[in-house]
């Protein structure tokens, strides 16, 4: 069993037994000394993601509409999880809903680092960049005429 972990695991400082792999961009995001120490204690291996898998993640994330929500680091960790999942049993450990959603679309098993449920579904709505009102859809605010931006709505629990 291989665990691919994003920053969540090290930030909440949960001890996980087993083979843990992460990517350099995750390590760069860990500013707390305690989180870095946790990484060392768990003998986490740091491997850069492969370009071909990053491209695969990007193209598939586009289909699930999560791509606007995924950072470069998110793509890196998904690419690493995808790479391992094609050759051995792999679990991606993350508390990030956009990463979880995309991972499921890619056929990668996911596990939350904390207590959050992984069966939650992300819902989207549009928010005005001017008056901040929220709307179910559209590109231009009907109230003030400013462009609307896609934002995450509350999650719906399914399980």
**Applying CB under 5 A, which residues contact Zn ion?**
128, 130-131, 141, 143-144, 146
Instruction: Report, in Å, the least distance between residue 107 CB and Zn ion.
Output: 40
Give Cα 139 to chain centroid, integer Å.
Answer: 26
Helix (H, G, I), strand (E, B) or coil at 17: coil
Q: Which is nearer to Zn ion, 67 or 146 (CB)?
A: 146
Instruction: Report, in Å, the least distance between residue 144 CB and Zn ion.
Output: 3
Instruction: Report, in Å, the least distance between residue 134 CB and Zn ion.
Output: 10
Distance CA(27)–CA(15), nearest Å, equals 17
Q: What are the two backbone dihedrals, phi and then psi, of residue 24, each rounded to the nearest 5 degrees?
A: -55, -35
Q: Which is nearer to Zn ion, 119 or 134 (CB)?
A: 134
Task: Check if the beta carbon of residue 66 is closer than 8 Å to that of residue 122.
Answer: yes
Helix (H, G, I), strand (E, B) or coil at 56: helix
Q: Which is nearer to Zn ion, 59 or 129 (CB)?
A: 129
């Amino acid at each position: 069993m291989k665990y691919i972990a994003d920053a969540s695991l090290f930030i909440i400082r949960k001890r996980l037994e087993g083979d843990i792999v992460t990517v350099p961009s995750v390590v760069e995001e860990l500013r707390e000394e305690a989180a870095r120490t946790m990484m060392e204690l768990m003998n986490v291996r740091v491997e850069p993601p492969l370009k071909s898998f990053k491209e695969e993640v990007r193209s598939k994330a586009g289909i699930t509409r999560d791509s606007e929500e995924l950072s470069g680091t998110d793509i890196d960790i998904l690419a690493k999880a995808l790479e391992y999942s094609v050759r051995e049993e792999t679990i991606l450990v993350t508390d990030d809903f956009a990463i979880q959603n995309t991972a499921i679309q890619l056929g990668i098993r996911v596990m939350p680092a904390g207590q959050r449920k992984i069966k939650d579904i992300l819902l989207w709505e549009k928010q005005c960049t001017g008056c901040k009102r929220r709307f179910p859809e559209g590109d231009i605010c009907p109230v003030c005429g400013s462009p609307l931006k896609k934002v995450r709505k509350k999650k719906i629990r399914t399980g």
